[in-house]
Structure 1
Amino acid sequence: MIVKKVKGRVFFLGDNIDTDQILPGYAMSVPACQLKNYALKGSSIPDFVEKVRPGDVIIGGKNFGCGSSREQAPVALKDAGVGAVIAASFAMIFRKNSINIGLPVITSECIDLMKREIQEGDQVEVDIESGILLHIDSGRVYELKKLSEPALATLRAGGLINRVRDILCERGELIDCKKA
């Protein structure tokens, strides 16, 4: 299965966006189904939840997702509708948590160029398989670092739980292998 291309509007964030900005600590007490309502409440875009539409793309700077290892932070972004996060670099645990829940997070050495040439709210298309971001308004293409095959396989499956389930089904080690 091919990972779908992500198409949406751009939101920009800076360097060192920590998990408290992505999902403030006070939101940790809400039911999991409500986490999306608190996405980026602690950031420079506190009204993000009111603005975001399915498929929208966040472009961040260095060290995106630093801070705690709270796995609910990428869940809040994904459930709010974020299609992908592109950044100069990611905190390792945030990156792993994101891929494991099926949220594409991809690095690029072109972040500064994107921030100069793309306006917030512009439409972009992210081809996750080929590692390309297309700025739809101008037709410009920006290179992204291609994801590893294991990361792509996890995203194709929709997250780590689904990937493990697929592997167990392929091996014949799981009885109920209905495709959704």
Structure 2
Amino acid sequence: MIRGRAWVFGDDVDTDVIIPGKYLRTKDLRELAEHVMEGLDPSFSSKVQPGDVIVAGKNFGCGSSREQAPLALKLAGISCIVARSFARIFYRNAINIGLPLIEADVMCEPGEVVEVDLSRGRVIAGGREYTGRKLPDFLMEILNDGGLVAHRRKQRERGLI
């Protein structure tokens, strides 16, 4: 179960707003976290706390295929993203780096506590329960292992690949 304070955003939050292009050349991962969501809320990185959850509308993560977008969110402390829908490449990049997400049409106020049960596809926000799209078992396995690289290492150690 994931539990955190909600940050609420609308539709079509693109990767340029999640992490502006001028920061993509850095190798300093802290710098990515310091500038995350700067395009929508310049003070976001100073207010976000470990465990917080993003709740958004449709097409979250649209735009370029930059892997730094979900990575910057994870490094800033975001524990999960709940959105009505995700851009396909962002969705897979998030899974690959071990950032949980779930498609669910959730309405809540900023700061409300959000609980996410990925295994059941359930989200509770503002005292209301929402049913989302349950992640397939193979994606849950990747997330539980900490991302795709860690997952493949574990498979190799078990002699599965």
User: Which band: TM-score by shorter chain?
Assistant: over 0.9
Question: What's the counterpart of residue 11 of structure 1?
Answer: 7
Structure 1 residues 47, 166: closer, same or farther in 2, change over 3 A? same
Matched, 1:41 2:41: no
SS across alignment from 2:115: strand
1:48 and 1:146, CA in 2 relative to 1: closer, same or farther beyond 3 A?
Answer: same
The counterpart of 1:106, out of the listed 91, 102, 106, is: 102
Deviation of the 1:29 alpha carbon: 2.4
* CA distance in structure 2 between the partners assigned to 1:163 and 1:54 by the alignment: 23
- Residues 1:151 and 2:139 aligned together: yes
Runs of 4+ in 1 over 4 A off after TM superposition: none
Alpha-carbon offset, residue 18 of structure 1: 0.6
Is 1:31 the counterpart of 2:27 in the alignment? Answer: yes
SS of the residue corresponding to residue 150 of structure 1 reads helix
Q: Distance in 2 between matches of 1:103 and 1:15?
A: 20
RMSD: 1.3
* 1:58-81 CA-partner distances (Å, limit 9, x unpaired): 111111101110000100000000
1:120 aligned residue: 110
Cα pair distance change 1:92/1:32, threshold 3 Å: farther
Q: Supply the AA of the counterpart residue of 2:62.
A: C
Distance in 1 (CA, whole Å) between partners of 2:53 and 2:114 is: 8
Matched, 1:131 2:121: yes
Structure 1 unpaired stretches of 5+:
174-180
Per-residue CA deviation, residues 67-101 of structure 1 (Å, 9 max, x unaligned), is: 11000010000000001111111111100000000
Give distance in 2, aligned partners of 1:11 and 1:58.
5
Q: Aligned partner of 1:7: which letter?
A: R
Q: C-alpha distance in 2, partners of 1:42/1:31?
A: 20
In 2, Cα distance between the equivalents of 1:139 and 1:124? 9
Task: Compare CA radii of gyration and give the structure with the larger one.
Answer: 1
Once residues 105 and 172 of structure 1 are traced to their aligned partners in structure 2, the CA distance between those partners, rounded to angstroms, is 26
Question: What letter matches 2:37 in structure 1?
Answer: L
- SS of the aligned residue for 1:164 comes to helix
The answer for unaligned runs of 5 or more in structure 2 is: none
**Length, aligned pairs only:** 160
